Amino acid sequence: MPVLPTVRWKWIFHHECSAFRAELKGIYPLNLQSKLSLSGMVTTNRAFDQYNVSTPEIVSNYLGSRLNYTFDNSVYWAENLRTGFRMFAGVEYQHALNQQSFTRFNLDARHYLKISNSLLLATRFSASHALG
């Protein structure tokens, strides 16, 4: 009888993560459909190995800011249904206190089109890019 090789799996990622974020936000309405918001934040991320307690925790601390533009001319058509256009664009910068800093760009656009009394077409474009 042939001997089958033993396969041993070694898991690389056993990390459990926890995050804490405190944010202070200011909103400036440009008109009835659009607004600009600026926020500052403090973020702490902790990653720890849940199977090997001798592995040290990875703690990341960030000071950051975020600038967002929101446009919303959608109208509620029925409960949880809307027609119109919504857009969210933003940039976020996180300055790391003990690791590498990064910048993130976001864009989310949604268009809701009422085709008939019982049919709604919803389209969405979403993109995000991080540098750093």
pLDDT in tens, 49-103: 777 777 788 888 899 999 999 999 999 888 888 899 999 999 999 998 877 889 9
* 3-state DSSP helix/strand/coil % of the chain, to nearest 5: 0, 70, 30
Task: Kindly write down the DSSP assignment for every residue of 102-118, as one continuous string.
Answer: EEEEEEEEEEEEEEETT
Q: Cβ neighbours of residue 72 under 8 Å, at least 6 residues apart?
A: 33, 34, 84, 85, 86, 87
Distance (Å, whole) CA 118 – CA 5: 60
Q: Is the pTM of this model over 0.85?
A: no
Distance (Å, whole) CA 70 – CA 73: 10
Phi-psi region of 42 (alpha: psi -120 to 50; beta: other; left: phi over 0): beta
Q: What is the pLDDT of residues 106-132, one digit of tens each?
A: 999 999 999 988 889 999 999 999 998
